[in-house]
Amino acid sequence: MSSTVNTVSSSTQGFDGVLARWEPVIGLEVHCQLKTESKLFCACKTSFGALANQNTCPVCLGLPGVLPVLNHQAVDYAIRMALAIGAEIRPKSSFSRKQYFYPDLPKGYQITQYDLPYCENGALVLDSGKKITIQRIHMEEDAGKNIHGDASSYVDLNRAGIPLLEIVSAPDLSSPTEAHEYLRKLRSIVRYLEISDGNMEEGSIRCDCNVSLRKRGTAAFGTRTEIKNVNSFKNVERAITYEIFRQADLLDHGEKIKQVTLLFDAASGKTQVMRSKEDSPDYRYFPEPDLGTVFIDSQRSEHVRSQLPELPEQKRFRFQADYGIAAADAYQLTEEKELALFFESVVQKIDSKVSPKIVANWILSEYLREHNARQWSWPSDLVSVETFSSLLRLLGEEVISGKIAKMVFDQMAEKGGNPETIVHENGWVQISDTSEIEAVARKIIEENPDQVAAYLGGKQKVFGFFVGQVLKVSQGRFNPNLVNECLRKLLHGS
Ligand SMILES: [Zn+2]
């Protein structure tokens, strides 16, 4: 059924060479699993990790004589998404049957929205300012899962009937990087809205990529291929990049692109043909007779709108304006809702003893490094908003130096604890006694006459050497500002 496509020789010309001649035209279809308590048309639980076929009932098993009932929570979640991307909501939409046979689909059809999706014409703006149109979003149910063992295959229908949103972009994306950014933004939005956990690796977000090439400067679209079910941000970029190379190679050799559906093999980094256009199924959609019209009047959408949280982009601009932090930092801090909340809670707790900019630096470097390496949850049990704020307050009040603060943080990350206690137990309080600093500084100057001569001869860099030596003697406990001041005075006085 599948065969590997031609090996790709364009890769020798480099990606930029390909892009100079060919313009990629990319559209994404993203399936996003909604985290409702129950399924789209029955009361079965949606919880992950249940025993196989535990979360099933006659409705999602597709037994005869049962009727689906639409889950209103799922519709409210769908409305949240539509509002977040500024889409037009259709007051009357409907469901259809998409018919095909597959073992994980016992009904023989999937209930989805076809000609009348609940929303259309939204958009998402990339950092470059480029607007990516979202043509439509529709609600549909997920299928089950086939599990292939050594001798037998099994079907688990726990997933059958779980609500999905299919989010369809216009072919407005022009590079693998843009596709990646678009997906990250989508994920960030669904997480902020709390309608999906947005985990690509666990299949909560799955992505089909439509890719074609056209000659630079021309308007007509080339023939497109579709890469099905790519399951990570990285693989979306890799799959699209591979497909661009593959198509460019064929076109450069005067060959035609065949309209095929592909699978991306993450191990080899290549796409494989799954089926050609001729074998693509005719789904014979028809209106679902067991479900009525879905009415979404303005009163309902306004009610949902009133409950919308601040979205990542709004939060980013507010962080820049309110806290004076750089655009790149604000972007990083607001991508995950929990991270943004952590930052803002720390800033409020510190109460202007430390600038928000320093808080941002500490969170984005020290805190995130440990958070990622140790796979902390939000908030971490070891380093809480309270203890992290206390640490930065000690730094801001010059009780400890930046170097000591990092040592304290390392201990907190390792085994938790209160920073004040850690500082006192280790005797790490910063020394601001000028006579003690001066005595050490004098000694260092006396011991290094050559360096003194070099510094006085104009070698400004040597100053750093003196600072380093004095701080070393104090094991990082001397107040660095006072050390600087004292050395300058002594050197210029000597
Ligand atoms: Zn069920």
Question: Once rounded to an integer, what is the mean pLDDT over residues 355-381?
Answer: 93
What's the 38 CA to ligand 1 centre distance in angstroms?
8
Please answer whether residues 244 and 24 qualify as being in contact, where contact means their C-beta atoms are separated by less than 8 angstroms.
yes
What's the 110 CA to ligand 1 centre distance in angstroms?
14
What's the 125 CA to ligand 1 centre distance in angstroms?
38
Q: Write down the pLDDT at residue 494.
A: 53
Q: Write down the pLDDT at residue 399.
A: 85
What's the 303 CA to ligand 1 centre distance in angstroms?
29
What's the 138 CA to ligand 1 centre distance in angstroms?
21
Cα 72 to the center of its chain, rounded Å: 28
Q: Which range among 240-254, 406-420, 421-435 shows the weakest confidence by mean pLDDT?
A: 421-435
What percentage of the chain carries pLDDT values higher than 70? 97
pLDDT in tens, 73-119: 999 999 999 999 999 999 999 999 999 988 899 999 999 999 999 99
Question: Looking at the predicted structure, is the pLDDT value of residue 246 above 90?
Answer: yes
Question: Once rounded to an integer, what is the mean pLDDT over residues 111-140?
Answer: 96
What's the 144 CA to ligand 1 centre distance in angstroms?
12
Residues 325 and 348: their CA atoms lie apart, in Å, by 15
Residues 97 and 346: their CA atoms lie apart, in Å, by 51
What's the 78 CA to ligand 1 centre distance in angstroms?
20
The span from the first CA to the last CA of the chain, in angstroms, equals 86
Please answer whether residues 83 and 305 qualify as being in contact, where contact means their C-beta atoms are separated by less than 8 angstroms.
yes
What's the 308 CA to ligand 1 centre distance in angstroms?
29
What's the 486 CA to ligand 1 centre distance in angstroms?
76
Residues with CB under 5 A from ligand 1 (ion): 42, 44, 57, 59-60
What's the 104 CA to ligand 1 centre distance in angstroms?
14
What's the 237 CA to ligand 1 centre distance in angstroms?
36
What's the 54 CA to ligand 1 centre distance in angstroms?
10
Residues 153 and 160: their CA atoms lie apart, in Å, by 17
What's the 56 CA to ligand 1 centre distance in angstroms?
4
Q: Write down the pLDDT at residue 4.
A: 42
What's the 200 CA to ligand 1 centre distance in angstroms?
24
What's the 230 CA to ligand 1 centre distance in angstroms?
27
Please answer whether residues 141 and 161 qualify as being in contact, where contact means their C-beta atoms are separated by less than 8 angstroms.
yes
Please answer whether residues 112 and 140 qualify as being in contact, where contact means their C-beta atoms are separated by less than 8 angstroms.
yes
Question: Once rounded to an integer, what is the mean pLDDT over residues 139-144?
Answer: 96
What's the 68 CA to ligand 1 centre distance in angstroms?
9
Question: Once rounded to an integer, what is the mean pLDDT over residues 305-326?
Answer: 95
pLDDT in tens, 163-174: 999 999 999 999
What's the 112 CA to ligand 1 centre distance in angstroms?
16
Question: Looking at the predicted structure, is the pLDDT value of residue 12 above 80?
Answer: no
Question: Once rounded to an integer, what is the mean pLDDT over residues 241-254?
Answer: 95
Tell me the pLDDT band of 2, cut-offs 50, 70 and 90.
very low
Residues 111 and 66: their CA atoms lie apart, in Å, by 14
Tell me the pLDDT band of 189, cut-offs 50, 70 and 90.
very high
Tell me the pLDDT band of 6, cut-offs 50, 70 and 90.
very low
In sequence order, what DSSP letters do the residues of 252-314 get, joined into one string? HTTPPPP-EEEEEETTTTEEEEEEEGGG------EE-TTS--EE--HHHHHHHHHTPPPPHHH
Summary mean pLDDT of the chain: 92
Question: Looking at the predicted structure, is the pLDDT value of residue 224 above 70?
Answer: yes
What's the 284 CA to ligand 1 centre distance in angstroms?
25
What's the 157 CA to ligand 1 centre distance in angstroms?
9
